[in-house]
Amino acid sequence: MGLTLPVYLDNAATTRVDPRVVEAMLPCFTEIYGNPGSRNHSFGWDAEAAVNAARAQAAQLIGAQPKEIIFTSGATEGNNLALKGAAEMYAKKPAGETSRGHIITAQHEHKAVLDPAKRLQKMGFDVTFLEPPADGVITAEAVKGAMREDTILVSIMWANNEIGSINEVPKIGAVCHDRNVIFHTDATQWVGKMPTDVNRDNIDLLTWSGHKIYGPKGVGAMYLRRRKPRVRVVAQIEGGGQERGYRSQTLNVPGVVGFGKACELCSLEMDSERDRLLALRTKLEKSLSASIDHVQVNGHAEKRLPNIMNMSFGFVEGEGLMMAIKDVAVSSGSACTSASLEPSYVLKSLGVGDDLAHSSLRISLGRFTTEAEIDFAIEKITWAVHHLRTLSPLWDMHNEGIDINSINWQSH
Amino acid sequence: MAYSKQLIKHYEKPNNVGNFGTTAEVKERADIGVGVVGAPECGDVMQLQIKVDQSTGKIEDAKFKCFGCGSAIASSSVATEWIKGKTLDEAMEIKNTDIVEELALPPVKIHCSVLAEDSIKAAIKDYQKKNT
């Protein structure tokens, strides 16, 4: 089978839209172009029918009712709505006061959760940012231990976007429900890849995005539990009262229809896809570990999404490594391009040293990844690491028996 | 962010990669100056070694090793190329901005050129310290 270069192995960043999704979306630009809010003509009715079908597809993927789905512009907006909207709804004291309620989240959450949580701190809420253990897995015990009398909301992502580690979501949900605390999970990396049932898994609010599941960018959804208990949030975008008042704006009909189709395809293909991706990732991980010494996999060995691998290659800098494997598109925990020179805060929170964080690559597989592409990536990365080590003063020092941590480095 | 042709050339085929011996060996040699700047936790470490012709006082050879991004490796390569054949005083004159210009470094990569300038100065100082 022919190989088309460059190879895309950055599916945790975003995915290629499935051609079947594109096909479903196309009529929404030129035929079904009505406003679903227009109640008095067929253009509006057709658009509404298309949106309702998508709502059912989205609900089915997570075991919810269609009425529990609120379309958003993506997971960032969904997370903002879930955190700020729930905090405002369940606040123990009015705006302007302190001690308005306690919120639990974790240090290695996505910025789309961390930044709203920090905003809520400024607005008078107390927030606990749990420190993850070395394997990155937030346990129900850890959440339970952080609970207070005044805890109103827990927000723990289902699977981490940089390392793929899976938190104890169903158990965390149970801990929350025992105490009548609202439980939100940012499931952006999880939903569509792993089986999800909001009732079985004890979830009140769940957010995800279209573009991580082979759908279009700019569209996502939030699940909002309607029964046992009925959960409510305060709208963050106000206007025409769409989405039952929770999220105003004329619906992005092509996006919503594409999102629905993407959800449906995931429902149908998830099981076989999960096995396929796990086999490919295992091959990748085993081959790299066998052909290169001084590597480590970051995050939990087993409790991890099948499509994400985060590996540190000692004595080699991640960004230089990405440049050396220019026909393979991946990500690195080295943030050499940012002004701060700070490497990944996720890896840092796990206690991975800054040097190994700078040496890390995140490789994420997807629906269109082939075995030939994985073989190519293994060959390229192996070559690049060995090549860059011949350039690395740290590698020389290591081979001369000098402990790199013993050197008094002059940071710049 | 697209890199310049010059940068890619120096990254893919860097000049003067290597050293004049192990850390312990070069420490004993009066004709060699070593500069090591940066830190692993910052994501960049540059090691520059200069070999000085003690009769003429000129840098007759230079070698580098670099742990860092493509811009850091390319900056080191340019630095070694430029200092060869120069006197220590002339080499001290090389500015990071010259490297920025040569490689068309984007603003976020300017620190790589600073590191290259610092490594030249550190290597010269090490040589001078050994020879006072």
Among residues of chain A, what percentage have pLDDT more than 90? 93
Contact status, residue B7 vs residue B105, Cβ threshold 8 Å? yes
Contact B65 A393 (CB under 8 A): yes
Distance CA A360, CA A332 (A): 6
For residue A375, being part of any structural domain is answered with yes
| Chain B interface residues (partner A, CB cutoff 8 A) | 1, 3, 11, 14, 17, 19, 22-24, 36-47, 65-70, 72-73, 108-109, 111, 114-115, 118
With a cut of 60, say whether residue A8 has pLDDT above it. yes
Domain boundary among A266, A286, A315: A266
Evaluate whether A186 touches A116 at the Cβ level (below 8 Å). no
| Number of domains, chain A | 2
Q: How many helices (H) and strands (E) does chain B have?
A: 6, 3
Confidence of residue A338 (pLDDT cuts 50, 70, 90): low
Question: Is A333 a residue whose pLDDT tops 90?
Answer: no
Q: How far is CA A181 from CA A75, A172, A206, in A?
A: 22, 11, 15
Distance from C-alpha of A277 to C-alpha of B10, rounded to nearest angstrom: 37
The Cβ-side half-sphere exposure at B117, using a 13 Å CA radius, reads 15
Distances (CA, A) of A14 to A210, A212, A213, B7, B30: 9, 5, 8, 29, 55
Tell me, yes or no, whether A215 and A338 share the same domain.
no
Residue B42, pLDDT score: 87
CATH number at residue A311: 3.90.1150.10
A409 pLDDT tier (thresholds 50, 70, 90): confident
Residue A334 to residue B72, Cβ atoms within 8 A? no
pLDDT of residue A395: 97
Domain assignment of residue A200, yes or no: yes
Q: For the residues B12-20, what does the mean pLDDT come to?
A: 96
d(CA B112, CA A167): 38
pLDDT at A69 over 90: yes
Q: Answer with the one of A226, A250, A266 that is the final residue of a domain.
A: A266
pLDDT band at B115 (very low <50, low <70, confident <90, very high): very high
Of residues A316, A317, A412, nearest to B115 (C-beta): A412
Give phi and psi for A302, each to the nearest 5.
Answer: -105, -45
Residues A203, A222, single domain; the answer is yes
Q: Are residues A186 and A251 in the same domain?
A: yes
Task: Tell me, yes or no, whether A217 and A309 share the same domain.
Answer: no
Nearest to A320 among B23, B73, B115 (CB): B73
Same domain for A294 and A244: no
Quote the pLDDT of residue A411.
60
Domain assignment present for residue A410? The answer is no
Q: What is the pLDDT of residues A205-261, one digit of tens each?
A: 999 999 999 999 999 999 999 999 999 999 999 999 999 999 999 999 999 999 999
Six-digit token pair at A327? Answer: 């026909």
Place of tokens 């035929």: A31
Residue located via tokens 């253009």: A43
Q: HEC string of A262-308?
A: HHHHHHHHHHHHHHHHHHHHHHHHHHHHHHCCCEEECCCCCCECCCE
When pLDDT is cut at 50, 70 and 90, the band that residue A412 belongs to is: low
Report the alpha-carbon angle A224-A225-A229, nearest 5: 140
Residue A408: pLDDT above 90? no
Task: Please indicate, yes or no, whether residues A102 and A225 belong to a single structural domain of this protein.
Answer: yes
Among A266, A288, A316, give the residue marking a domain's end.
Answer: A266
Which residues in B lie closer than 8 A to residue A354 (C-beta atoms)? 40-43
Residue A232: phi and psi, rounded to 5, are -130, 155
Expressed as residue numbers, the domain containing A123 is: 19-266
- What was the pLDDT predicted at A293? 97
What is the ipTM, given to two decimal places?
0.95
